[in-house]
């Protein structure tokens, strides 16, 4: 937290199932006071699941705010109190893509929209993929009922990013980070339990 911009007052505006909204009165560096709308978000995790043949798993699902089906990474909210980010990522990968993984690292950490929200997402790189047995697979609901999973070579995914065909921000960041990591021999990857000070609420 920056001491340069103290919050003088906070007014709750809305509390929903996932997010809440508040108004902060913030003292600027020149001494003036500005009102900022802030969306509080629990944070999220996403997974670049990389197969031995160099393909990654993408899920396609309906996203109501943009009224479109998007190709994305397996991902989900950090909405279970006290759940480690790695455990949440492992759960989401198993539920959405029906695979587990034996090798996990942190790929990148992102603020998704820091001008209006504290939402942060941690993207993991998962390798050593193993299918979840049919009788242990998650039963989807809501938008996930029509969710589909497909494999895409990294190079093709990168091409789709630059063609404007892949627009989910976490997917774009994860795909480009994976392409860079592969090209540089995976140097600099952090352990799966690396500190994450940007995680909301921590």
**pTM, whole model, 2 decimals?**
0.92
Q: Is 18 helix (H, G, I), strand (E, B) or coil?
A: coil
Which position has the higher pLDDT, 179 or 201?
A: 179
Q: Is 146 a residue whose pLDDT tops 90? A: no
Exposure b/e, 169-190, CB count within 10 A at least 16 = b: ebbbbbbbbbbebeeeeeeeeb
Pull the structure tokens for residue 108.
């990148």
Q: d(Cα 5, Cα 123) in Å, to the nearest integer?
A: 29
DSSP 133: P
The C-alpha angle 28, 34, 39, rounded to 5 degrees, equals 110
Taking the CA atoms of the chain, what radius of gyration do you get in angstroms?
Answer: 18
| Predicted local distance difference test score (pLDDT) of residue 134 | 75
| Predicted local distance difference test score (pLDDT) of residue 197 | 93
Mean predicted confidence (pLDDT) in 70-93? 95
Topology of domain 44-191 in CATH is Nucleoside Triphosphate Pyrophosphohydrolase (3.90.79)
Distance of CA 165 to the CA centre of its chain: 19
Q: Is 16 a residue whose pLDDT tops 70? A: yes
The C-alpha angle 90, 167, 120, rounded to 5 degrees, equals 50
Q: Is 51 a residue whose pLDDT tops 60? A: yes
| Predicted local distance difference test score (pLDDT) of residue 1 | 55
Pull the structure tokens for residue 152.
């895409």
Q: Between 154-162 and 169-183, two packed helices, what is the crossing angle to 10 degrees?
A: 130
Mean predicted confidence (pLDDT) in 28-48? 95
Mean predicted confidence (pLDDT) in 49-55? 96
The pLDDT confidence band at residue 139, using thresholds 50, 70 and 90, is: confident
Q: Is 44 a residue whose pLDDT tops 90? A: yes
Q: d(Cα 154, Cα 168) in Å, to the nearest integer?
A: 16
Each domain of the chain, given as residue ranges in start order, spans 7-40, 44-191
Residues in the chain: 202
Exposure b/e, 30-51, CB count within 10 A at least 16 = b: eeeeeeeebbbbbbbbbbbbbb
Which residues are within 8 A (CB) of 160 and not within 5 positions of it... i.e. 6 or more apart? Answer: 71, 152, 166
Query: Which ranges in the chain belong to alpha helices (H)?
Result: 85-97, 154-162, 169-183
CB contact at 8 A, 107 and 154: no
Active centre residues (catalytic):
144
């Amino acid at each position: 937290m920056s001491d340069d911009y103290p919050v003088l007052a906070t007014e709750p505006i809305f509390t929903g199932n996932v997010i809440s909204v508040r108004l902060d009165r913030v003292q600027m560096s020149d001494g003036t006071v500005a009102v900022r709308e802030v969306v509080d978000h629990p944070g999220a995790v996403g997974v670049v699941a990389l197969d031995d043949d160099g393909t990654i798993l993408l899920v396609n699902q309906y996203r109501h705010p943009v009224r479109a089906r998007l190709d994305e990474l397996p991902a989900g909210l950090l909405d279970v109190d006290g759940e480690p980010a790695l455990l949440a990522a492992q759960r989401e990968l198993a539920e959405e893509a029906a695979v587990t993984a034996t090798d996990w690292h942190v790929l990148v950490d992102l603020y998704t929209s820091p001008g209006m929200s504290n939402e942060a997402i941690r993207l993991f790189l998962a390798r050593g993929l193993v299918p979840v047995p049919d009788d242990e697979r998650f039963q989807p609901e809501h938008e996930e009922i029509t969710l589909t999973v497909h494999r895409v070579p990294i190079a093709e995914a990168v091409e789709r990013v630059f063609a404007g065909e892949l627009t989910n921000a976490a997917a774009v960041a994860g795909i480009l980070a994976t392409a860079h990591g592969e090209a540089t021999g995976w140097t600099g990857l952090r352990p799966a339990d690396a500190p994450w000070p940007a995680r909301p609420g921590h």
